[in-house]
Structure 1
Amino acid sequence: MSRIVYVNGAYLPEEEAKISVFDRGFIFGDGIYEVSAVIGGKLVDCEAHLARLERSCGEIRLGLPWSKAELVAIHEELIKRNNLDEGGIYLQVSRGAADRDFPFPKDVQPTLVMFTQARNFVNAPGAKTGIKVVSTPDLRWARRDIKSVNLLAPVLAKQFALESGAQEAWLVEDGVVTEGASSTAWIVKGKTLISRPLSHKVLPGITRKAVLAYLEESGFSFEEREFTLEEALDAEEAFITSATSLVMPVTSIDGHTIHNGAPGPTAQRLREIYIDYARKGGVLG
Structure 2
Amino acid sequence: MNKPSFILLDGTLCEESEALVSPINRGLMYGDSCFDTLRLYHGQFLQWERHFARLKEGLGYLRMGCPWSSSELKKDIMKLLRENGLTQGDAMVRLQVWREGGRGYRTEASGARWMIQASPYEADKDKALNLTIAETRCIPSKSLKRTVKLGSGLNYVQAAAEARDANCDNALMFTIDDYISETTTANVFWVKGHRLFTPSVSCDLLPGVMRSIIIDLCKQEGIPVIQGEYQRDELKEAEALFCCNSLIEIQPVHTVGDLTFDEDHQLIQKLKQLISGYKEIHLKE
Which residue of the partner structure matches residue 137 of structure 2? 139
Bigger shift: residues 184-193 or 212-221 = 212-221
Cα deviation digits, residues 91-134 of structure 1 (max 9, x gap): 010112x221111233x63111110121212xx1xx32411111
- Contact map agreement 1:130 1:251 (CA 8 A) in 2: yes
How far apart are residue 138 of structure 1 and its match?
4.1
- Contact map agreement 1:145 1:200 (CA 8 A) in 2: no
Alignment of 1:51-66 (within 5 A): 51-66=53-68
Partner-residue secondary structure (3-state), 2:156: helix
Check 1:283–1:191 CA distance in 2 against 1; reply closer, same or farther (3 A cut). Answer: farther
Q: Work out whether 1:228 is the aligned partner of 2:231.
A: yes
Which residue of the partner structure matches residue 275 of structure 2? 274
Q: Work out whether 1:178 is the aligned partner of 2:178.
A: no
Separation in 2, partners of 1:199, 1:31: 23
Check 1:283–1:226 CA distance in 2 against 1; reply closer, same or farther (3 A cut). Answer: farther
Aligned length in residues: 276
Separation in 2, partners of 1:99, 1:59: 20
Q: Work out whether 1:191 is the aligned partner of 2:187.
A: no
Q: Work out whether 1:32 is the aligned partner of 2:25.
A: no
What is the alpha-carbon root mean square deviation over aligned residues?
A: 2.0
How far apart are residue 170 of structure 1 and its match?
0.9
- Contact map agreement 2:126 2:251 (CA 8 A) in 1: no
Q: Which runs of 5+ in 1 are unaligned?
A: none
Check 1:48–1:283 CA distance in 2 against 1; reply closer, same or farther (3 A cut). Answer: farther
Which residue of the partner structure matches residue 264 of structure 2? 263
- 2:214 alignment partner, one of 211, 215, 218: 211
How far apart are residue 191 of structure 1 and its match?
2.2
Which residue of the partner structure matches residue 95 of structure 2? 91
How far apart are residue 73 of structure 1 and its match?
1.3
Q: Which amino acid aligns with 1:178?
A: S
Separation in 1, partners of 2:163, 2:283: 31
- Contact map agreement 1:134 1:161 (CA 8 A) in 2: yes
Which residue of the partner structure matches residue 11 of structure 2? 9
Identity, in percent, stands at: 22
Separation in 2, partners of 1:274, 1:2: 34
How far apart are residue 182 of structure 1 and its match?
1.1
- Contact map agreement 1:7 1:114 (CA 8 A) in 2: yes
Bigger shift: residues 73-82 or 3-12 = 73-82
Cα deviation digits, residues 229-257 of structure 1 (max 9, x gap): 11113201111111222111111111321
Partner-residue secondary structure (3-state), 2:134: strand
- Runs of 4+ aligned residues of structure 1 deviating over 6 Å after TM superposition are none
Separation in 2, partners of 1:251, 1:57: 37
- Contact map agreement 1:178 1:202 (CA 8 A) in 2: yes
Q: Which runs of 5+ in 2 are unaligned?
A: none
Partner-residue secondary structure (3-state), 2:274: helix
Check 1:189–1:168 CA distance in 2 against 1; reply closer, same or farther (3 A cut). Answer: same
- Normalised by the length of structure 1, the TM-score is 0.90
- Contact map agreement 1:250 1:263 (CA 8 A) in 2: no
Q: Which amino acid aligns with 1:244?
A: L
